[in-house]
Amino acid sequence: MTVADSHRAVEAVWRIESARVIAALARMVNDIGLAEELAQDALVAALEEWPRNGVPDNPGAWLTLTAKHRAIDQFRRRDTYQRKLQEIGRDMELRQEWAEAELDDALDDHIGDDLLRLIFTACHPELPVEGRLALTLRLLGGLSTAEIARAFLAPEPTVGQRISRAKRTLADKQIPIELPPPAELPARLASVLEVIYLIFNEGYAASAGEDWIRPALCQEAMRLGRVLAGLMPSEPEVHGLLALMEIQASRIPARTAADGTPILLPDQDRSRWDRLLVRRGLDGLRRAEELGTLGPYGLQAAIAACHARALTPQATDWARIAALYRLLAHLTPSSVVELNRAVAVGMAHGPERGLEIADALLDERTLRDYAHLPAVRGDLLARLGRTAEAAAEFRRAAGLTRNTRERELFQQRAAGLDQGSPPASSS
């Protein structure tokens, strides 16, 4: 094994173990920033030692224990009297924790709770959304700052600042690393789910840049969803979100042509959908349904499932989709949901009915710069034979989107309508 090989092997262990190591340390030192530093120190030690002596049989425990030793060393080295006093107390606590922790390592008792605490802290509503995203990918995903920056097409120093600012905020506001009390759980869980879905969406419908899809982010979000489903198996929305992501991701192989152009749902080659993800998604949805009433993510998963179950676009149960969107609009009223309902109603009950709903959204300020409003209207108008209006709408959509691939697609639709070609086969 070359040095590079063994470094990659250590990195792999780090990817698998880092979140649990950081989580265990955070419980001990009650400071996420410090916990991460200590874990990083342990990683450096591993990079030095493992290539020489081989990877230990229980690498996670090795990393945790090494980091704990460093924590104790650090607390010992501090010098002011005041700190010394605290230190002694802390040190005793640490020793005790440590003795307990060695038992834990054998029993793995705390690990689940520790990880959950870490997730809830990283997604704390006190942090700005960008900070939550970056911190989650860093602490739970084990991604380096450079990797996160690459994924979000952001400069590395910016991402580094977001992470350190988030950690500082947690420390300054003395936000405890703990599970939210039952009364706060729904709201806090909503933030966790939102962060995971934002990560997914950043990959699935890249908001900017050349690529329409960044699968690595989708995969990381699904992994986080699976982790969460393992930690909170009785929360229907956790399974709902995971199912939603898996069903959506199942389409990734069919969503782009060889040259990178997006292919919309009705035109996708369904034989290219990832059957494993479809099956897992449908299973997850069933799980969510069994656990209780579907929430917003569960409902969206149920909608995605309607598409996944249809072997051909014609077999799509649009009436059910329209009904599900009505429920979703009731639960989480939003213009975007209403716009999607317009599409579904347009498919289920004719373009005229769909256009009525879409037109009602024209004055919505939140949709003013939203490319999909004119795109949806363009599609419905085209199906009604109002070709010139439809072309104008697609041109508007092209002018509004920030995604290169999407812009090309809208321009093509506009050009096709200008030449009087029949409306795209979206019915």
Interface with other proteins by CB under 8 A: which residues? 8-9, 11-13, 15-16, 57, 112, 210-211, 215-216, 219, 222-227, 230-231, 252-253, 256, 258-260, 276, 280
Q: Cβ 28 to other proteins, closest distance in Å?
A: 21
Q: Cβ 30 to other proteins, closest distance in Å?
A: 24
Q: Cβ 260 to other proteins, closest distance in Å?
A: 6
Minimum CB distance to other proteins smaller for 123 or for 224: 224
DSSP H helices, 30-80, are 32-53, 59-77
What sign does the dihedral 143-149-150-156 (CA atoms) show? negative
Minimum CB distance to other proteins smaller for 17 or for 97: 17
Minimum CB distance to other proteins smaller for 225 or for 296: 225
Minimum CB distance to other proteins smaller for 18 or for 300: 18
Minimum CB distance to other proteins smaller for 229 or for 306: 229
Residue in this structure with the two tokens 């042509």, named with its chain if needed: 257
Query: Angle of helix 32-53 relative to helix 129-139, nearest 10 degrees?
Result: 30
User: Can you tell me the distance from the alpha carbon of 371 to that of 207, in angstroms, rounded to the nearest whole number?
Assistant: 12
Q: Cβ 89 to other proteins, closest distance in Å?
A: 35
Q: Cβ 307 to other proteins, closest distance in Å?
A: 18
Minimum CB distance to other proteins smaller for 17 or for 237: 17
User: Can you tell me the distance from the alpha carbon of 375 to that of 390, in angstroms, rounded to the nearest whole number?
Assistant: 9
Reading the block at residue 197, the tokens are: 């879905």
User: Can you tell me the distance from the alpha carbon of 247 to that of 397, in angstroms, rounded to the nearest whole number?
Assistant: 27
Buried b (16+ CB within 10 A) or exposed e, 67-89: bbebbbeebeeeeeeeeeeebee
Residue 256, beta-bridge partner list: 262
Question: Maximum Cα–Cα distance for the chain, whole Å?
Answer: 84
CB 321 within 8 A of CB 304: no
Q: Cβ 280 to other proteins, closest distance in Å?
A: 7
